[in-house]
Amino acid sequence: MSAQQNPAIRPLDHLALRGADDAAALVLREGSLSYKDLRDRVARLAGWLRAQVGEPGARIATWAAKGELTCLMPLAAARAGLVHVPINPLLKRAQVAHILADSGSRMLIATSARLSALEAGDVPPDCRMLGEGEALQLAVEAEPLAPSDGKPDALAAILYTSGSTGKPKGVMLSHANMWLGADSVATYLGLAADDVTLAVLPLSFDYGQNQLLSTWFAGGSVVPLDYLAPRDVIKAVERHGVTTLAAVPPLWVQLAELDWPQDTAAQLRRMTNSGGALTADLVRRLRGRFPQARLFAMYGLTEAFRSTFLDPALIDSHPTSMGKAIPHAEVLVINDQGDLAADGEEGELVHCGPLVAQGYWQDAVRTAERFKPAPKASHYGGMAVWSGDRVRREADGLLYFVGRRDAMIKSAGNRISPQEIEEAALATGLVAEAVALGVPDVRLGQAVHLIVRAAPGISDVAQELPRILLKELPNFMQPKMIHWREAMPISPNGKIDRTGLYQELAA
């Protein structure tokens, strides 16, 4: 059954309709919004957006920290028949300019400080810029828009994600993709109306955005938090009675090292991890620190939202497993001959079913590389995401990660394009060659290392290069170390020996 035929799927904005009127839906620094308030704010923001940008399917970008705008926009844009393009608030002007131009956004709503950081030519001529506060104020007076009756397969959002090569690419998500993702996670996490989710992850990521959507699907409450230090997380859990916390491995490492008041730790009912694998040691520490909480290890990719989760009852005995397919997903392991891999045999993880995204925005070439017809063994058929990740399935059905086929760097839960860092280094004119690699790191998962050869006749490059990169790249892309070489190693095919460099740095 297609998404269009499934009567259980609703347009994304209908998530605002699920909670009890007087129940808390969103806890902001300025105060709490009940579900009744949420419905009113979404309706008015949608009405204002429709009046400003009437073209169905037009893209609306937001570039701001967590707050009312970034939390309500996924539902409001959907109700207005528009497509939301959330931009990671950590990105800098070069990346933002690319996203605005690539998406063809008609409006950018951002904080005043971020807007002032943009330079001439960064914003397309037909893209209107508006401050976050002004937009929210104007929306308060707007005529509310009734819940939509849009098609589930209609485009709802474009999430930009880095790959192993080139600039960020926009993953196209439909109403059905996001609705079923919320349904799936709320179901297997067992979320309920009395749950409180602390949203510490960026809302521009699928994992972060689902913090909102799955909680609202269950009628629960969301507390957005842009934390400055891990201790801020402890304070928020205690202050708001948080029951659900999603994080990436580097944050879990930091939280496990802190002294948690026993009563505060006991509030957590569930903890979820994605964006990198948990180690057996970290699992032991988290289980010791939060013995009453259910720990969910998960695997996902933006192109299919999420693929697997491990039953918390198995986390102690199988701490390194990816688990099994989540609801609404079919996960196959396909060997190099194109057949289902045998138990214990390594193969490529292929994700089939209604969570598969619609491809990359205006990029038919890269879409064809990742989105291909499902294997003949698939029950769903249609298009599937061929992840490029190597996994194996054991006889008990549990999946285990083996390795990545591409060179993408995963650091602190961020997917980082090596080519983007290399291009930024080369653009300075200070270096003639550059290679960016992800080197194993206890806290980050992988740390960015940059190997460069200085351009002839250039002096003081060792000090100048980090200064320029700090200006041009977001913090999570900054190299932890820069290694200078008089010559780059060359492989037999005449290219820079990236494998040799990696082995040298990882030794």
CATH code for residues 409-506: 3.30.300.30
pLDDT of amino acid 418: 87
Helix (H) or strand (E) holding 392: strand 383-393
The rounded distance, in Å, linking the Cα atoms of 495 and 90 is 33
CA distances from 479 to 408, 410, 446, 474 (A): 14, 13, 11, 10
Q: Strand order in 431-441's β-sheet? A: 431-441, 445-454, 481-484
CATH code for residues 8-175: 3.40.50.980
The single-letter DSSP state of residue 326 is P
pTM of the entire predicted model: 0.86
Q: Is the model's pLDDT at 163 over the cut of 70?
A: no
Using an 8 Å Cβ cutoff, are 365 and 411 in contact?
Answer: no
Q: What is the pLDDT of residues 415-455, one digit of tens each?
A: 888 888 988 998 898 988 889 999 999 889 999 999 998 98
b/e sequence 84-100, b meaning 16+ C-beta within 10 Å: bbbbbbebbebbbbbbb
Residue 431 burial class via C-beta count within 10 angstroms: exposed 0-12, middle 13-18, buried 19 and up: buried
CA distances from 440 to 396, 409, 449, 507 (A): 30, 10, 10, 10
* Extents of the domains making up the chain: 8-175, 409-506
Domains 8-175 and 409-506 share a fold: no
**pLDDT above 70 coverage of the chain, percent:** 96
Beta-bridge mates of residue 242:
none
Q: What is the pLDDT of residues 175-204, one digit of tens each?
A: 999 999 999 999 999 999 999 999 999 999
